[in-house]
Amino acid sequence: MRVLDIEPVKYEEDKMLVLDQTQLPGEMAYLEMKTKEDVWDAIYKLKVRGAPAIGVAAAYGLYVCAKDINAKNYNDFYKRFIEIKNYLASSRPTAVNLFWALDRIEGRVKEFEEEKLTIDSWENTQSAIKKAILEEAEKIRAEDESACRAMGENGLTLLKPGMGILTHCNAGTIATAKYGTCLAPLYIGHEKGYDFKVFVDETRPLLQGARLTAWELNMAGIDTTLICDNMASIVMKNGWIDAVVVGCDRMSANGDGANKIGTSGLAILAHEYGIPFYMFVPTSTIDMNTKSGDEIKIELRDGAEIYELWYEKPMAPKGIKTYNPAFDVTEAKYITAVITERGILYPPYEESLKRLFEQY
């Protein structure tokens, strides 16, 4: 199977299926999402992860839950819909695509508040609302696939054949609808014979680099070397790294970008060694209502992920205090360029991001 054919979230034969990424690379298994609890659990427990894929999962999840609503009227339907939406929104606080997708689906539902009087019966209206939710979820998935391909093409213009590339966490095809964000240029470049040499941070504590990125790139036939997170400095010093590419879970209006914990450290190292640091950010991940990274809420997770989750027995003293933030914020001053599906942005990001949204 080609890695680009693997979908992290899909809706087929009236079923929503999520690739359980917690079982990778050992087993590739899809789970059916039947209830709002199923969807919430899949997002919270990282069975589906990656900002774009979370957005797609949230959109399809809303449909799966809303299609079983049998309301008396529009207001009753909307009340039940909002309860589901708010519940799913509580699953993870940092990735903006979750809220973006949920709000976008709500926008389609609210269109029927005005239209309800022009449709023959409430039964027909309710069916039309549910159809519109599914259509919007399909659009979100298709738009993300297109955006990732465009980011890949844009990002490839910054890279040259034979480059050594360092990446962190997983922003590949299983974190998106297809292609990935920062891995998209690596896949496209591989197809064109660029012969990249990719170094993959293991990405503690959840090992998304080791379990997911290394698995993806190796399956695609790309030259891949796995390293521990604390080895990034030495591979840079050795002259093996020509560029760092990472994804993003939320970018603020000033260009600060929240990504998997450890990303900001890589950016600082890259700055010290004079290596370009590229952040790949779909426009759906840019939050112009958040002024700076200081306003981004960072998710704190169970400390057991640090010392217990991936081990046969605990690797730390029982009862030890832990601090386990899922993300950190890379300051805009360390980001060489921001790659979007609409083009490549350069500092000052307050101006280039603003222009990006004024043009569309």
Which one-letter DSSP state was computed for residue 298? P
**Residue 128 CB: number of other CB atoms within 10 A?**
15
Within 72-192, where are the H helices?
Answer: 74-89, 96-115, 122-156, 184-191
Which one-letter DSSP state was computed for residue 294? G
CA-CA-CA-CA torsion sign (216, 299, 333, 359):
positive
Q: Residue 298 phi/psi, 5° resolution?
A: -95, 125
Strand, helix or coil for residue 83? helix
Please name which of 110, 103, 290, 310 lies closest in space to residue 205, comparing C-alpha atoms. Answer: 310
Strand, helix or coil for residue 190? helix
Strand, helix or coil for residue 333? helix
Choosing from 38, 201, 249, 328, the catalytic residue is 249
Give me the helix-helix angle, 122-156 and 184-191, nearest 10°: 60
223 is catalytic: no
> What gap in Å lies between CA 17 and CA 58, rounded to an integer?
12
Q: Distance of CA 309 to CAs 56, 109, 154, Å?
A: 27, 40, 38
> What gap in Å lies between CA 354 and CA 47, rounded to an integer?
34
Q: Distance of CA 69 to CAs 23, 101, 107, 343, Å?
A: 32, 20, 18, 41
> What gap in Å lies between CA 327 and CA 80, rounded to an integer?
32
* Residue positions annotated with a catalytic role: 249
